[in-house]
Amino acid sequence: MIRVRFAPSPTGYLHVGGARTALFDWLFARKNGGKFVLRIEDTDTQRSTKESERSIIEDLKWCGLDWDEGPDVGGEFGPYRQSDRVKFEMYDEPLNELLKSKKAYHAIYEIDDPKKMIKKTYSGSEAKEYRKKGHSVTVNFKISKGKTVFEDIAKGKMEFDNSTFDDLVIVKSNGYPTYNFAVVVDDHLMQISHVVRGEDHLTNTPKQIMIYEALGWELPKFMHIPLILGPDGTPLSKRHGGTSVDHFRAHGIMSKAFVNYLALLGWGIEAEIFNPIKRINDFRLENISPKPVIFDYAKLEWMNGQHMRKMPIEILVKEFREWSQKYSLSSLKWFEEASYTENVFEICRQKVNDLMILRDFAEPFFDGELNFDEKAKNILDSSHSQLYLSSALTAIKDIHDWSVEKVEKAIRTVAEKEEISKKKFFQILRVAVLGKTVTPGLFESIYVLGRERTVLRIENVLNGKEI
């Protein structure tokens, strides 16, 4: 059976590169009827936090990436954790086997200089005595002579000269296994068939293969996905902008668009706007590009806008509500009138590419009192504003059958009068009813606001209440 794993370290937010790796692992497992395993690699006790673990798990769920096994937590699978596996002594037997076969040894260090090794020993009791005296003691794996060769699914034949590696610490002085040892034991015991991970792990692979071979274990197949680069061709980092899944969530990128964009970063598929989950049968590890890919922030935003405009309006409202509640960005009163909210979002989504800007566009439709900035106040203080707004108010009150077409006709009729500048008229009316100079279409906005709200807002400006 195909068995793959995603194994993040909970030392920060989930990076977009990690999310892409998880997506490709998940697609590969689902395509082949296999298993996708989530394993939290938290043996770095100084840097690992429960907060990071919770954030990573939440972001994976937001991406729609579920896993197939793990400890039962309230009726669903929790992730495996290396810290739990340490408690259950999962690493002791293979460690003792390496020591017994003298392929690993205890390294004893100076008390005053924990980096200076003073002795090697295969005796556990001797190591224990030194530890009692205050010495740091690690277990080191002996690097074998020769070369390590393996076939990488993405890169082909890979060859490393073992002489370039020093002996490897596999158990730290605090008793916790290091990454390169724990990952081998975990992948073997979990029967992982394919290790699909980022290219930044490539130099770890020969070290891990040596441990596999020292223990007489069968190797999984390896694949190292090229890195995601920033616009300047260097590995994507904070200097380029946001790099975490949470960053894009907070700024209003939706999960469907985000996963769609991640899939494009290496998956050779002749499509642009699509749902990767519905294209599982087209997924092949062999089709992932062996070349680095550039993360294009502008394209992600554009793609998000495409998804916003294509999805059913009630789904968009639901996504927006969940997003705004998570980040405390809007009041529940926005959703009290479902049809009104859907109408507002329908006209607002035509001009925006993320939920953050959608919020800015929608806000004036729900606020009882508009907040005019200095530019807006200057527009309403112009010598034409009273005349224009009075004419608009009369025309709007006289509309009998309320529709976008009737609203547009009434306002254009006023604008066609000789003494009125159409451009200035529309600008003043837009600011009076929505408080901003950039809004959805003027006629559609007035129609959605409705006659009562529109009249009240214009009257408030004419009476000096709003400004």
pLDDT at 467 over 70: no
CATH topology of domain 92-225: Glutamyl-tRNA Synthetase; domain 3 (3.90.800)
**What average pLDDT does the segment 16-23 reach?**
97
> Within a 10 A sphere around the Cβ of 430, how many other Cβ atoms?
21
Mean pLDDT of 441-463: 96
**Residue among 82, 321, 267, 264 nearest 183 (CA):** 82
Asked whether 263 and 25 are in contact (CB, 8 A), the reply is no
Count the neighbouring beta carbons within 10 Å of the beta carbon of residue 325: 12
Provide mean pLDDT across the span 235-255: 94
Q: Which of 195, 249, 224, 214 is nearest to 56 (CA)?
A: 249
Q: Does residue 113 register a pLDDT over 60?
A: yes
Count CB-CB contacts under 10 A for residue 41. 20
CATH number, domain 374-462: 1.10.10.350
pLDDT over 70 for what percent of the chain? Answer: 99
Answer whether 351's CB lies under 8 Å from 361's CB. Answer: yes
pLDDT of residue 332: 80
How far does CA 172 lie from the centroid of its chain? 32
pLDDT surpasses 90 at 464: no
Q: What pLDDT band is residue 63 in, cutting at 50, 70 and 90?
A: very high
Q: What is the pLDDT of residues 136-195, one digit of tens each?
A: 999 999 999 999 999 999 999 999 999 999 999 999 999 999 999 999 999 999 999 999
Catalytic residues: 238
Alpha-carbon gap, residue 167 to 201, rounded angstroms: 18
CB contact set of 439 (below 8 Å; sequence gap of 6+): 361, 364, 430, 445
Q: What percent of the chain has pLDDT over 90?
A: 87
- Residue whose pair of structure tokens reads 């527009």 in the numeric block: 379
Mention every residue, 6+ apart, whose C-beta is less than 8 A from residue 174. Answer: 45
Res 123 pLDDT > 70: yes
Phi, psi (degrees; rounded to nearest 5) at 149: -125, 135
**pLDDT value at residue 398:** 95
What's 74's DSSP letter?
Answer: T
What sign has the CA pseudo-torsion 96, 98, 99, 104? negative
138, 171 Cβ separation under 8 angstroms:
yes
Burial of 31 (0-12, 13-18, 19+ CB in 10 A): middle
* pLDDT reported for residue 418: 62
- Gap between the Cα atoms of 169 and 177, Å rounded: 9
CB 44 within 8 A of CB 75: no
Decide: helix, strand or coil at residue 19: helix
* Fold (CATH) for 3-87+228-294: Rossmann fold (3.40.50)
pLDDT confidence of 69, banded at 50, 70, 90? very high
Q: Inter-axis angle of helices 404-415 and 385-397, to 10 degrees?
A: 140
Closest CA to 195 of 71, 432, 29, 46: 29
Closest CA to 373 of 319, 438, 326: 438
Average pLDDT, whole number, for the chain?
A: 94
**Would you say the CATH fold of 374-462 matches that of 3-87+228-294?**
no
Domain ranges, ordered by start, for the chain: 3-87+228-294, 92-225, 311-366, 374-462
User: Would you state the pLDDT for residue 466?
Assistant: 59
